[in-house]
Amino acid sequence: MPNDEFRPPHWSQFLGFNLKRAALVLVGLLLAAIAFHFGHRHYQARKVARLATLATESLAKGDYRAAVLQARQALQNAPHNLPATKVIARIAEEAGNPEVVAWRRRLVELQPGNLDALLDWAASALRFGDLHTADQAFAQARDAADKSARFHELRGGFWTVAKRPASAEFHFAKARALEPDNPRHQLNLAMAQLANGDTNRLAEARASLASLESRGYESVKILRALRDDSLRAKRPGEALAHSARLITAESVVFPDMLEHLAILRSLDPGDYAAYLVKLQARAARDADEAATLIGWLHSRGQGREAWRWAGELPFNLKQSGQVRLALAETWVSLKEWKQIESVLGGENWGDFEFLRLAFLARVALETGERQRRNELWKSAVAHAGQNPASLNVLANMMAGWGWLPEAENLWSILAGLPGKYQRPALAALHRLYVRRKDEPMLLRTATRILELDPRDVVARNNWAQLVMYQGKGIEKSRAHATARELHERLPASLGLRATYAFALWQQDRAAEALALFKDAPKDQLEDPSIAVCYGLVLAANGRHDEARRYLKIAQTSPALLPSEQRLVARALEGLP
C-alpha cells in the first residue's frame, strides 16, 4: 500500500547525483590535489637543481655575478641545497670576504662528519685570524683526522699563530711523515723548528731550508725565515745577507723593507740613511705605506723625523685617515701637547673627526683640563655615532692609551650592534674581565655570546664553568647537563673533559670524575686551568699527595678566577 507520508528529498538529489557518484568525485578531486602537490614539489625540486647547476657552471666560467644570483635563488627555495651553498662559500672565499667562515660552517652542518668540510671551515677561520672558530672545527675533526696530512698542516698553522712552536712542530712533523715528498710540509717543519729554538734541530732546519731555496721553492718565505733566524741568533751580518737577497725579490712586501732598514740601522748608519730616503720616496705614493713608515720611525725614537717627512707628503696623503692617525700617535709619543693642540685645533677631519676630538681630549687630560677633556670625549663618541668601524678604531685606541673604562663602554656599544665587529668586541670584553677577574661580567659576556651563537662550543663551555662557580639550583643543573653534552660530543678535548669532571665532582661523583683523566697527557694536566679540577678530583678520591702537587701548580697561576682560588685554598687546607 502506498505511503502518502511526505518525505523530503535527500540533499544529494538537489545536486543531481547520488552518494556513490559524490564519493567518486571527491576521490578524484583528492587525487588531483595530491598530483598537483607532488607535481609542484617535483617542479620546485627540478627548478632548484637547475639553478644550482647553472650557479656551478657560472662559477666555473668566472661569472661571479650570475653565480651569486643563481645560487641565492636556489637557496631561497631550498635553504639546505648543498651545491648552491658550496658556490656561495667559494665566491666568498675568493673575494676575501670574512662571511666565508659562516658559509663553511653551514657546509659542515649539511655534511655531518665530512672531514674535508671541517678542514675547509678551519682553514677559512685561520685565514681571518679567528682561532676560536678554528679550534672548534679542529675539535670536531680530531677523531677522524690523525691520518690526514692536511689536518696536521692546518693544526700546525693554528699553533704557529698561537705562538706555540713546539706544538706546531709536532703537527708539521706528522704532516711530513704522511706526505714525505711534499715540499710544503718540509718548509713548515723547518720554520717551526727554527722558531722552537731546539739546538738539536736547528742545523737540520737550516739545511732543509737551504736545500729548498736552492731548488727555487718559496724563496721569499725561506729567506724571511733565515733572516729572522739569524736575528734571533744575534748574527746581524748573516741576517743582512739574507735580507739583501729578500728585498730584491719581485714579491717582497713593505714590512720586509722596513726590517732591512732596521738591520742597516744597527750596522751601518750611512747605508741606513740612504735606504731610508729610498723608502720615503716609495711610501710617498701610498697612504698605507706612508702611515706604516711614520709609525715605524716614531716607535724607534725618530718621531720628529717622521713629523718632518710627513709635512712633505702630497696633500691627498696628508688628508688620508691612515696618515692622520699615524701622525697623531706620533705627536702623542712626543708629548708636545700644546703644539698638538695648535695643529689640530683649527682642522676638521671629516669622516675621521671623532679621532681628532679624541686626540684633543688626550691633550686636555695631559694639560690638566679635566672638564674640557670630558666634553671633548663625549663629542668624539657622538661623532663616531653608531658607525661600527669608527667605534672599533676608537675603542682600540683607548685600550692602547690605557683608558679602559672608555674602551669598555665602546666595546659594550659594539657588542649590541650586529655586524663583523660585534663578536670581536665581545672577545675584547671577555679579555678585559678575565684580567679584572670580574666573574659576574664574564658570565654576562658568555651568555651574550651564546645568544649570538648557541652552537659555539667554547662559549658554552665557558658559560657552564662560570655558572657552576656562581649559579644555584636549576641553572647549575643546566650547566652540569651542558658539560656532559659537550664532553660526549667531543670526548678528545681535555678542556671539555675537565669541565665535565668538575660537574661530576660537584655532584659527589668523584670516582667517575677521576676516570675521565685516565689517559690524559701529564704535561697537559699541569696546565693550571686543568690542574684546578684534577687536584680537586684527586683530593676527593683520597690521593692526597698527588692532589697537593696539582693544587699547588694551580695556586701559583695568576690567571685563576676568585672562585677557583677559593676552591684551591679550601682543598689544600683540607688535606691531611
Instruction: Note the pTM of the prediction, 2 decimals.
Output: 0.69
Cα separation, 305 vs 312, in Å, equals 11
For residue 511, count CB atoms less than 10 angstroms from its CB and return exposed for 0-12, middle for 13-18, buried for 19 or more: exposed
pLDDT confidence of residue 324? 84
Residues of the chain with pLDDT under 50: 1-17, 36-38, 40
List of domains in the chain: 19-121 (1.25.40.10)
pLDDT confidence of residue 88? 83
Could you give the dihedral angle defined by the CA atoms of residues 521, 524, 530 and 535, in that order, rounded to the nearest 10 degrees?
A: 60
Cα separation, 91 vs 252, in Å, equals 27
Cα separation, 159 vs 149, in Å, equals 15
pLDDT confidence of residue 80? 84
Alpha-carbon distances of 342 from 320, 345, 407, rounded to whole Å:
20, 5, 26
pLDDT confidence of residue 489? 82
Cα of 477 vs its chain's centroid, Å: 30
Cβ-contact 131, 99 below 8 angstroms: no
> Which of 389, 381, 392 lies closest to 426 in space, CA to CA?
392
pLDDT confidence of residue 303? 87
- Cell representation of residue 114: 665530512
Cα separation, 255 vs 312, in Å, equals 22
Buried b (16+ CB within 10 A) or exposed e, 210-240: eebbeeeebbbbbbbbbbbbbbeeeeeeebb
For residue 114, count CB atoms less than 10 angstroms from its CB and return exposed for 0-12, middle for 13-18, buried for 19 or more: middle
Cα separation, 312 vs 232, in Å, equals 36
pLDDT confidence of residue 45? 72
pLDDT confidence of residue 33? 56
pLDDT confidence of residue 276? 95
pLDDT confidence of residue 233? 87
Reduced 3-state DSSP string for 407-475: HHHHHHHHHCCCCCCHHHHHHHHHHHHHHHCCHHHHHHHHHHHHHHCCCCHHHHHHHHHHHHHHCCHHH
Cα(first)–Cα(last) distance of the chain, in Å? 112
pLDDT confidence of residue 182? 93
